[in-house]
Chains A and B, each alone.
Chain A
Amino acid sequence: MTIRVQIQDFDAGFEISKLRLARPDVGAVVSFVGQVRDLNEGNMVAALTLEHYPGMTEKSLEAIVTQAKSRWNIMDATIIHRVGTLNPLDQIVLVAVSSAHRGEAFNACEFIMDYLKTEAPFWKKETTDEGEQWLDAKETDETARNRWKK
């Protein structure tokens, strides 16, 4: 398991290749890359600043991967989440999961993202023409997470 919270950018291709390297038992790697958008709720976004709770964030991401591992037969997972100030077009998060068959990796990747969005302690502050404001949690994210509880 690789969990990293960092200011620097990441190379998604390189991270994905690490999950396959010397692993002929891996048949699938599913990945998700989140990017900062320039438009949010009608406002042009100039920047996004991410804050996190060092220690708890890493621990919570590890717990999410452990939960995914107990639900699906996945081999490994990588989560990289950026913090600090980001701009539109910047990558913000990577989740990549490896498994023998695609179904397990697809499910686990989506599960990890849904839980990350609702449980890992990160907070976004947006800078637009109107000034700065903290973003509110979205109910749709909560709904997406709750699907997995059925």
Chain B
Amino acid sequence: MKIKIFYFARLKETLKFSTEDLELPDEALSILKLKALLAQRSDTWHEMLMGKLKVRGAINHELVDDFAEIHDGDEVAFFPPVTGG
């Protein structure tokens, strides 16, 4: 399956990625599983996605928890807790 991922704020800056397209095997994929997969890229990725920083996930513009399922064509986003207003 093909998905698009966006990164924001501290994640975008540290990972030096704002967006990417990923092709993954067609098997069940949760937000947590995707984070673990991306965390294998390097220590920095691991620290950003699986470390102390609270990372929130969204699928197709909806905030979701770690157990939410990702499907083909989804737009996924990772970002720190929000600080607007």
Query: Are A and B co-members of a single complex?
Result: yes
Contact A135 B83 (CB under 8 A): yes
Is B61 in contact with chain A by the CB < 8 A criterion? Answer: yes
Given contacts A116-B84, A123-B9, A134-B83, 9 further A-B pairs with CB under 8 A are A51-B9, A53-B58, A55-B61, A117-B83, A123-B8, A124-B83, A134-B9, A135-B83, A141-B85
- Cα–Cα distance between A47 and B82 once the two chains are bound (Å): 18
In the complex, the 4 A-B pairs of residues with the closest C-beta atoms, listed nearest first? A122-B84, A137-B81, A123-B9, A56-B61
Contact A134 B79 (CB under 8 A): no
Query: How many A-B pairs fall under 8 Å by CB?
Result: 74
**A53-B8, A134-B9, A134-B10 known; A121 and B81 CB under 8 Å?**
no
Q: Mark interface residues in A124-148 (1 if CB within 8 Å of B CB, else 0).
A: 1100000000111110010000000
- Contacts from B to A (Cβ < 8 Å): 6, 8-10, 12-13, 54, 58, 61, 63, 77, 79-85
Contact B85 A92 (CB under 8 A): yes
Among A81, A92, A120, A122, the one with the most B-chain Cβ atoms within 10 Å of its Cβ is A122
Contact A121 B82 (CB under 8 A): yes
- Contacts from A to B (Cβ < 8 Å): 34, 50-53, 55-56, 59-60, 81, 92-93, 113, 116-125, 134-138, 141
Contact A56 B83 (CB under 8 A): no
